[in-house]
Copies of this chain bind each other. A is one copy, B any other.
Amino acid sequence: MNHRTPAATIGVVGGGQLGRMIGEAAGPLGVEVVVSDPTPDCPAAPVVRDQIVGDFDDEDAIRELAERADVLTFEIELADPDAMARVGEATDTPVHPDPDTLRTIQDKLVQNRALADGDVPVPEFRRVDDADDLRAAGEDLGWPLMLKAREGGYDGRGNRPVEGPKKAEAALAEIGGAALAEELIDFEREVAVMGVVGDSERRAYPVTETIHREEILRESVTPARTDEAVRSRAREVAFDVLELLEGRGVYGIELFETREGGILVNEIAPRPHNSGHWTIEGTVCSQFEQHLRAVLGWPLGSTELRSPAVTANLLGDIDSPEPVELAGSEAILEAAAASLHWYGKREARPLRKMGHVTLVDSVGDEANADGDEGRDTLLSHARELVDATTFE
């Protein structure tokens, strides 16, 4: 292959932190990025070639993007698969991942069915259109169960445990639409695998342990502190998932490790994912560079672990429409093993992802952070750094 200037131009629907980090990965490759996003001066804007202001389903904006790009992709599930498919066809621009894959993943019921049909292990689930369906699901799957909105949920929004049949109406009203019920998994831990589908091969990164509180990812630890057999099973399942997906790109595969050491698929994201942010420092080829390589049909990069890594999110802790400031960032900057990632958002909301910090082993205080114990230390250190910050 030949490398030119620009090496390629990628059009990305969405310009949040994922679009920003795609842009940051594009620079060294000589790839240029144009994003479309409804928020003027979105997080990606300062680091990419250009932003087109437009909603995620604004077909004119997507067309403008396509006319400037060699490949169209998206960094948010709210991207409109129909609009992308139409624009891709009309402008003869490849769209990756395939809009069909996005369509499947957008509806959690359709997603679960596709996985189950492909013999991928998922929690037991039932379609729920009304309270009767929900009560029937409870009879089958046992109470409590997990009620999930079929569409539009993310970061735990749209997910709600339901205690018993009496709560059926209230729970459905809260979810506010078509839903599915899942057996509530009493998991040992949550793990995730970032997978990638390239032109002629599939690869997967090492298994990451994901730590959630209030349904939001707080920290990730890689490699996951679990048995090698579990990690191996998680990667097997991830490869099975990748086989079912149409179109090239990086996929985030969120998994439950059950009490018995089994693996079930929780959810799939058809894009780089928070549980893969550690790859920026923890591998030679990050999930963002990998996504660019994949959608372009370039050779995939190595998914091999370079160092154990722990990532902790900087989540908004106040509701502020005013420009916010993070106090206490100097401790992060001073920590030898830490890399700060600030997403360039102006307004905070409670639990809004404002940035993250990744610590790697082998440097500074983390010089001897080997094995499970070493990762415990990395995790404590990352938590200390994040806990010492506040939004003002």
0/1 interface trace, chain A 320-345, chain B, CB 8 Å (1 if under): 00011111011001101111111111
**Residues of the B chain whose Cβ atoms lie less than 8 Å from the Cβ of A2:** 325-327, 329, 392
Contact, CB under 8 Å: B28 / A299: no
**Residues of the B chain whose Cβ atoms lie less than 8 Å from the Cβ of A4:** 323-326
> In the assembly, how many copies of this chain are there?
2
**Residues of the B chain whose Cβ atoms lie less than 8 Å from the Cβ of A240:** none
A388 close to chain B: CB less than 8 A = no
Contact, CB under 8 Å: A29 / B360: no
Contact, CB under 8 Å: A304 / B7: no
Contact, CB under 8 Å: B363 / A3: no
**Residues of the B chain whose Cβ atoms lie less than 8 Å from the Cβ of A343:** 30
**Residues of the B chain whose Cβ atoms lie less than 8 Å from the Cβ of A182:** none
Contact, CB under 8 Å: A3 / B325: yes
Contact, CB under 8 Å: B364 / A5: no
A293 close to chain B: CB less than 8 A = yes
Given A2-B327, A24-B24, are A29 and B340 also a contact pair (CB < 8 Å)? yes
Which of B298, B323, B337, B342 contacts A284, CB < 8 Å? Answer: B337
* CB proximity of A12 to chain B, nearest CB, Å: 14
Which of B28, B323, B360, B363 contacts A5, CB < 8 Å? Answer: B323
Given A304-B336, A329-B1, are A342 and B29 also a contact pair (CB < 8 Å)? yes
Given A24-B28, A284-B363, A360-B306, are A46 and B342 also a contact pair (CB < 8 Å)? no
**A48 to B27 CA separation, bound complex (whole angstroms):** 10
0/1 interface trace, chain A 11-29, chain B, CB 8 Å (1 if under): 0000000001001101111
**A97 to B340 CA separation, bound complex (whole angstroms):** 24
A161 close to chain B: CB less than 8 A = no
Q: Which of A5, A48, A307, A345 has the most CB of B within 10 A?
A: A5
Which of B5, B306, B341 contacts A346, CB < 8 Å? Answer: B5
* CB proximity of A367 to chain B, nearest CB, Å: 9
Contact, CB under 8 Å: B30 / A363: no
**Residues of the B chain whose Cβ atoms lie less than 8 Å from the Cβ of A123:** none
Contact, CB under 8 Å: B3 / A299: no
Which of B28, B32, B338, B346 contacts A339, CB < 8 Å? Answer: B28
A residues 141-184 with Cβ under 8 Å of B?
none
